[in-house]
Amino acid sequence: MTAMALAIGAVDDVTWDAFCTASPSAWFWHTTAWRDYTLAYRPELGTLSLAFAVFDGSESVAAVPLSLEQSEGGPEFTFGGGPCWAPACAPQLAPAEAQVVLRRALDHVDVLAAEHGAARGAFVVSPLVPDPATTGLRWAAAAVRAGYLDTTRVSQVVDLTASEDEMLRAMTKGHRADVKRAQRDIEVEVVVDAADETFVAYQRMHERAAGRVTRPQRTFDLMRHWLSTGNAVLFAARRAGHFVGFAYVLRYGKGAYYASAANDPDESGQPVGHALQWRAITWLRDAGITTYELGAQPFDALPHDQSSEKELAIARFKRGFGGVGVPVFGGERYWTSDALATVQHRLDRYAGRLSSED
């Protein structure tokens, strides 16, 4: 390995996004489009982008989409309240070089933590990056060396290269039956045009399903714009000509992510979600997507992964569409002893759950 002359710097948005397109460890989450969404997502967090690049001489070798947010415990490095995305590395890096680059990136995160008074920082590796196995292992090694605690979780991912029969057989019996039942009277249209007024109906349904407006208009404007850039697709279900549900899916490269659902509360018990997901699976497959992430799979079995009954039920619904659980490598770092109260609180909850099972 040749000696590397690593430095920290900034790059313009066009260069940043081009780097993400080429990187085997970046997905849509790393792009400036998602950064803009996150900056608007939760105004109460006061999200501030501290994104930076690592350079080897004049060449960018890593992009780190870091952001600072204000939590109840003080400043933290999080992204919309959740973990930041792990650094994306350049494709030409050898394994040993990638480790050096990641260590340099995490060293700079320490510097920024001291500068901004951050008490905690969290990162996670998306299963949708082009090379998730290598990315996850490299991240885990660098994070452990830098003193990060493991917070790995699980997400459900469907392989869209399988045949339609194989994907149906991978579903639970109940989901297969509901997909068949839905096909009797539910039609699903596909929207990839920001000018289509169906998006307005989706936003209205989103508010109705939640019982309130959950986030700023800017986030919906960006989601609508992504339909025309090819980074999203909206699936709209109708029965008897009336909208009964929606599924909004992000897409980038060969991967897709189930980002948002909004179903008519009056359709509870009807297979609206089944109709939407089956149409999404088949459409994404035909569009050349090979990997479809349905989302988190909490099992309430870890100190850092304790979920509500609603969250567990949503996870079971997603799991019913088949696919496999894959590791979502994650880690968090604490820079003050006071912040470790978060860890103690998790352990106390975990201990209480175990006691209730005795």
Residue span of the structural domain in which 298 resides: 159-325
HEC profile of the chain: CCCCCEEEECCCHHHHHHHHHHCCCCCHHHCHHHHHHHHHHCHHHCCEECCEEEEECCEEEEEECCEEEEECCEEEECECCECEECCEECCCCCHHHHHHHHHHHHHHHHHHHHHHCCCEEEEECCCCCCCHHHHHHHHHHHHHHCCCEECCEEEEEEECCCCHHHHHHHCCHHHHHHHHHHCCCEEEEEECCCCCCHHHHHHHHHHHHHCCCCCCHHHHHHHHHHHHHCCEEEEEEEECCEEEEEEEEEEECCEEEEEEEEECHHHCCCCHHHHHHHHHHHHHHHCCCCEEEEEECCCCCECCECCCHHHHHHHHHHHCCCCEEEEECEEEEECCCHHHHHHHHHHHHHHHHHHHHC
Do 126 and 173 lie in one domain? The reply is no
In a domain, 278, yes or no: yes
Do 114 and 177 lie in one domain? The reply is no
Do 65 and 104 lie in one domain? The reply is yes
Work out the average pLDDT over 300-322: 86
In a domain, 257, yes or no: yes
In a domain, 204, yes or no: yes
Q: Could you report the per-residue pLDDT of 336-356, keeping only the tens digit for each?
A: 887 777 777 778 877 777 766
Do 69 and 35 lie in one domain? The reply is yes
Q: How far apart are CA 231 and CA 355, in angstroms?
A: 46
pLDDT band at 357 (very low <50, low <70, confident <90, very high): low
Do 212 and 313 lie in one domain? The reply is yes
pLDDT band at 358 (very low <50, low <70, confident <90, very high): low
Q: How far apart are CA 158 and CA 322, in angstroms?
A: 7
Q: Report the candidate in 153, 156, 159, 11 with the shortest Cα–Cα distance to residue 88.
A: 11
Q: Could you report the per-residue pLDDT of 116-132, keeping only the tens digit for each?
A: 999 999 999 999 999 99
CATH assignment of the domain containing 255: 3.40.630.30
Do 185 and 254 lie in one domain? The reply is yes
Q: How far apart are CA 352 and CA 358, in angstroms?
A: 10
318: pLDDT strictly greater than 80: yes
Work out the average pLDDT over 259-275: 94
Q: How far apart are CA 112 and CA 82, in angstroms?
A: 18
In a domain, 1, yes or no: no
268: pLDDT strictly greater than 90: no
Q: Report the candidate in 182, 337, 351, 332 with the shortest Cα–Cα distance to residue 270.
A: 182
Q: Could you report the per-residue pLDDT of 46-96, keeping only the tens digit for each?
A: 999 999 999 999 999 999 999 999 998 899 999 999 999 999 999 999 999
In a domain, 42, yes or no: yes
Single-letter code of the amino acid located at 130: P
Q: Could you report the per-residue pLDDT of 135-180, keeping only the tens digit for each?
A: 999 999 999 999 999 999 999 999 999 999 999 999 999 999 999 9
**To the nearest whole number, what is the mean pLDDT of the chain?**
94
Do 27 and 49 lie in one domain? The reply is yes
Do 103 and 215 lie in one domain? The reply is no
Do 237 and 90 lie in one domain? The reply is no
Instruction: Look at strands 6-9 and 52-56 and give their pairing.
Output: antiparallel
pLDDT of residue 347: 82
Do 148 and 175 lie in one domain? The reply is no
pTM: 0.94
Do 138 and 59 lie in one domain? The reply is yes
Q: Could you report the per-residue pLDDT of 273-282, keeping only the tens digit for each?
A: 999 999 999 9
| 5 Rama sector, left if φ>0, alpha if ψ -120 to 50, beta otherwise | beta
Q: How far apart are CA 271 and CA 172, in angstroms?
A: 14
Question: In terms of residues, how long is the chain?
Answer: 358
Number of domains in the chain: 2
pLDDT of residue 26: 98
Q: Are 301 and 87 in contact (CB under 8 A)?
A: no
In a domain, 339, yes or no: yes
Do 168 and 310 lie in one domain? The reply is yes
213: pLDDT strictly greater than 80: yes
Work out the average pLDDT over 31-41: 98
Neighbours of 308 (CB within 10 A): 10
| 47 Rama sector, left if φ>0, alpha if ψ -120 to 50, beta otherwise | beta
pLDDT band at 2 (very low <50, low <70, confident <90, very high): low
In a domain, 205, yes or no: yes
